[in-house]
Amino acid sequence: KAGVTQTPRYLIKTRGQQVTLSCSPISGHRSVSWYQQTPGQGLQFLFEYFSETQRNKGNFPGRFSGRQFSNSRSEMNVSTLELGDSALYLCASSRGDVGTDTQYFGPGTRLTVL
């Protein structure tokens, strides 16, 4: 069974630009969650999508948004990039049936904002 894939793996942008990251979940998984990891704040939950609907949201500004497609693939978008958005962005997929389902993480996208 193929794991969670994320593209691109590395990205360099400048302040003020926007960026779109992509996540393909494990086949059959309907939930996709996004996390931001920085040295200072650690791993923080961004949002979770289940069957194309945002089901949960973390405490991030509206510049961070996401969506999920009918095939469960998900994208997240960050607009008006700031230096502090430099981070590893991780996506995780799960069946999504219950809150305690195991989450399977991808390798992440390393975003650098200059």
Query: Is residue 104 part of the contact set for other proteins (CB under 8 A)?
Result: yes
Query: Is residue 48 part of the contact set for other proteins (CB under 8 A)?
Result: yes
Residues 6+ apart with CB under 8 A from 54: 47, 48, 66
Q: What span, in angstroms and rounded, lies between the C-alpha atoms of 39 and 53?
A: 30
Query: Is residue 59 part of the contact set for other proteins (CB under 8 A)?
Result: no
Sketch the per residue contact string, 62 through 101, with other proteins: x for CB under 8 A, - otherwise.
Answer: ----------------------------x-x-x-x-xxxx
Query: Is residue 24 part of the contact set for other proteins (CB under 8 A)?
Result: no
